[in-house]
């Protein structure tokens, strides 16, 4: 309700094409941001809750992974960086909601504390998600599927 969003754009040069970045604050998904950010290269969006917890997300004024993906698709974003995960996820957020082979939608990546990225290197980032998923499963970091019976 009192959160903000930010759009940053930069005109291109011969060595570096035009780009626009959108940052959604700690808030519910915004149709206004989705419309204003059409054609954005990178959307940074919170995904505090996994897709199945939409009611919890709405009650706490946060977004789900699925809602963030919807905003990114509406924008036509090339990349979606998901951030601000609930503390219910001990190590990493629930990754099963994030498509790794969506040819028509944004390439989704997971942010983490102290992460920095070069906007010129975005094309390399989608390779991280499948490996993070494998590592999370191998180390036992994957969270169990949340159902209405196990929801807090």
Query: Residue 115 — very low, low, confident or very high, per pLDDT cuts 50/70/90?
Result: confident
Whole-model pTM over 0.85: no
Q: Kindly report, residue by residue over 66-99, the tens digit of the pLDDT.
A: 899 999 999 999 988 888 765 655 555 556 666 6
Q: Who has greater pLDDT, 148 or 52?
A: 52
What is the per-residue pLDDT for 110? 76
Dist. CA 77–CA 82, nearest whole Å: 13
Mean pLDDT of the chain: 76
């Amino acid at each position: 309700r009192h959160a903000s969003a930010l759009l940053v754009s930069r005109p291109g040069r011969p060595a570096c094409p035009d780009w626009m970045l959108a940052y959604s604050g700690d808030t519910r998904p915004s149709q206004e941001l989705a419309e204003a950010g059409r054609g954005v290269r990178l959307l940074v969006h919170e995904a505090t809750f996994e897709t199945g917890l939409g009611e919890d997300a709405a009650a706490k004024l946060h977004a789900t992974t699925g809602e963030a993906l919807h905003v990114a698709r509406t924008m036509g974003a090339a990349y979606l960086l998901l951030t601000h995960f609930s503390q219910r996820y001990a190590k990493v957020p629930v990754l099963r909601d994030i498509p790794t082979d969506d040819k028509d939608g944004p390439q989704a990546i997971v942010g983490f504390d102290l992460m920095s990225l070069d906007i010129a290197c975005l094309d390399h980032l989608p390779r991280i998600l499948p490996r993070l998923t494998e590592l999370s499963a191998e180390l036992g970091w994957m969270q169990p599927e949340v159902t209405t019976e196990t929801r807090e």
